[in-house]
Structure 1
Amino acid sequence: MANSEFLGEYEQIIHALSERIVAAQRPIRILDALKWDQEVEEYFFRHKGKKLPQIDSEYYQKKNPLSFDPEKKIEEFHEIDRDIRRKLGQYSGVGSIMERICYEYCRVVEMLVARGTPKFTEISQGLYGSSQDAFHVGAPTLKDLATLVASALSNIKDQVQTAADEKKYTSEDAVAMLSDRLGNYFSDRDAIRVEISDGIIADAAAGADRIKIHKGLMFSSREIRTFEIHEGWVHLGTTLNGMAQPICTFLSKGPPSSTVTQEGLAIITEIFTFSSYPGRLRRLTNRITAVNMAEEGANFFDVYQFYREQGLDENDSYQSSMRVFRGSAPDLGPYTKDLSYSKGFILIYNYMRLAVQRGLVKRIPLLFVGKATLEDLHILSDLLDEGIITPPKYVPPQFADLAAVSAWMVYSLFLNRLDLRRLALDFKGILQ
């Protein structure tokens, strides 16, 4: 928290507006507002998966009532937005970031009001994207990525399984291991906690100051390493970096656009640290396929059957399907947030390649400055030069070493120019 006595007038204005955004978003808890309770799961299995869960807009209003008045909350963000322009001007870089954040939170509130209706998916697609979005004219879509990855993974199947994939660690073991590892990674050791939780859908999830591990599960050493990197180094690390900002405190909280960057950054860090694995990639691309199915009209039962066909048991298939339809209804469109992982990875990887090509490699560590977005990095770079933001304290070594990451990206620029189909023909004789 900044002491305004030591800030100039300009910095004080930015800090005050930033703090208003942080305070305004505080009661907005998106995932809590979208969740389904245990009764829905019991209903589904009691009817042996033959009846769709009974979810509509009335369900959310009754089970997950919002803790704020939506109209007043939107007006609050509009007031902040107006004050940003009045006090910082129309063309302020930091002002444009804060204005976009206000706009996105207004859309989030509208999305929560639309729970259980077709409008919910429409707004979700605007915030997080669609499985059919292109990355540029004529480019493959996320749906195409899922198809390609699934095909490649089917060729290697269990050829890469090792002892590291054996699920022999309990949730309690995972908590102990992560507490030790992250305690060594973060110098603010007392600022983090790892704990058991039975209130999350995912195997692990990072909050503002803690990582939650799903109760009653068994994990492999690979999975625990993934939690360390994904939830710890990236999600918790960027939160701590954002909270350490003396002026731009909004960097500690992320709107949906930062979710795409955050999840993509977590996936690319998994890959750069050689912590990811085929099962992990299969889970991520299955989410793309499931979201795409729902976008094209599939209902909850269709998606559930898809996951069963992928080899998941009944419980995991239900939980995975619920992720797709939470906030919506079982026969309406999806909640598209789960596209963020793969979409963000592709966007960040290409940004890094282009940043190296254009001599902007020093901007790459700014991805960890807080809950930032790719489109804001040029502004954040200027703010860093002005002393409005401070450099991120916690940056994974693979990103802090700009020499090494530059070498990787330089080769990537060339490899991208090779025609893989032509290479496959030329290599046919030695790939038999």
Structure 2
Amino acid sequence: MKHFEANFDGLVGPTHNYAGLSFGNVASYSNAAQASNPKAAAKQGLAKAKALADLGMVQGVLAPQERPDLYSLRRMGFSGSDAEVLTQAAKQAPMLLNACCSASSMWTANAATVSPSADTRNGKVHFTPANLVDKLHRSIEPTTTGNILKATFSDEKHFQHHQHLPEHASFGDEGAANHTRLCSDYGHAGVELFVYGQQAMNPNAPKPKKFPARQTLEASQAVARLHQLDDESCVFMQQNPDVIDQGVFHNDVISVGNQNVLFYHEQAFVDTAAKFDEIRRKMNADVHFVKVATEQVSIQDAVKSYLFNTQIITLPNGEMAIIAPTDCEENPAVHAYLNELVTLGTPIKQVRYYDVKQSMQNGGGPACLRLRVAMNEQEVAAVNQHTLMNDALFTRLNTWVDKHYRDTLTVADLADPQLIIESRTALDELTQVLKLGSVYQFQK
């Protein structure tokens, strides 16, 4: 039976904007209050997804969430008609309005943690939506994320869905952005690497001083239990607190893995040598740890270019390729390093660059835009086929974007009642295109 690693990219929502909501995310903060282009953002994401499908990869899409989130604003005490709720929020608590208009669900690396059937005791693919409790604009996502995942992976014979973890700081969970899976082959049992920023229940353990550590060890351990992973299938590794304080808000900003390759910056982790030995022992196979030294690429350049927020994919011919943002090509140090990397004899043989600048300016690169799901061919066949990328879906989604999305959106535009109508109309049509059923609050 064939096995694949599918990528499910988040469709950029109609309210894509730059409100600077993510403290600790340098790009998000530095581009706050700029005008965004939702239409360009959505088309850039679709082009990247289609390019991977054209390379022979299994590629899907995940729907965006309803924004503005009137349901959450009403829970916060705003009342009246939809337009009145927006007007009150814009006047009394504009930051709450901004949070409830964020299109951050586009970054599906934070949607959930996924464990493939080869690793789990009951032989099913397990999904746990991330609770994202550290940021208000993301903490309102998990329930709808769960609904979208269930509509995409609905076959209970193959897929098992869990509720997100308790919404408490001790269980701060940011999903696959702090999780990667190493294996000799996608269909073989592997080692799931959970990277955490702090031990929430150990006040004496190291943690960053400036920016928050969003992933806790306690959350990672809980997800591993839910997914029925054995101890020999898991490694728990701490992210270096010092790099978190330099803007590395998730592990996927400082390392990325694929099959038997872990591509990482030398400052990425705590206790690196011992943990790598543990990975080697549990893998019981060759592992390529591809280290990028500080003298080759500084932390600043890595964060600015998102060198590690790239995707590493295995092409149908067995070669590995890095899917990088054009920002990597435009950064002299990073571009020079990547040119050298493909000559070093590692499994990574090529680099492909894609323009996702609208996402990059808000703090998310190619890896942020995708959720990886390793599956066998029976499991791929059990996925909602309307969500899998092909020529027809690509054309249909681009037409949908052209019809419903604005060319320009500012933070001030978030108070426009017409935006509610535009967003709901777009998502109502999308649920029909992707056959998602009733996954949104406004449909209840």
Relative to the length of structure 2, the TM-score reads 0.23
Larger Rg: 1
Q: Per chain length, whose mean CA-contact separation is higher, i.e. which structure has more relative contact order (CA < 8 Å, sep 6+)?
A: 2
Could you state the TM-score of these two structures normalised by the residue count of structure 1? Answer: 0.24
Where is the helix percentage greater, Structure 1 or Structure 2? 1
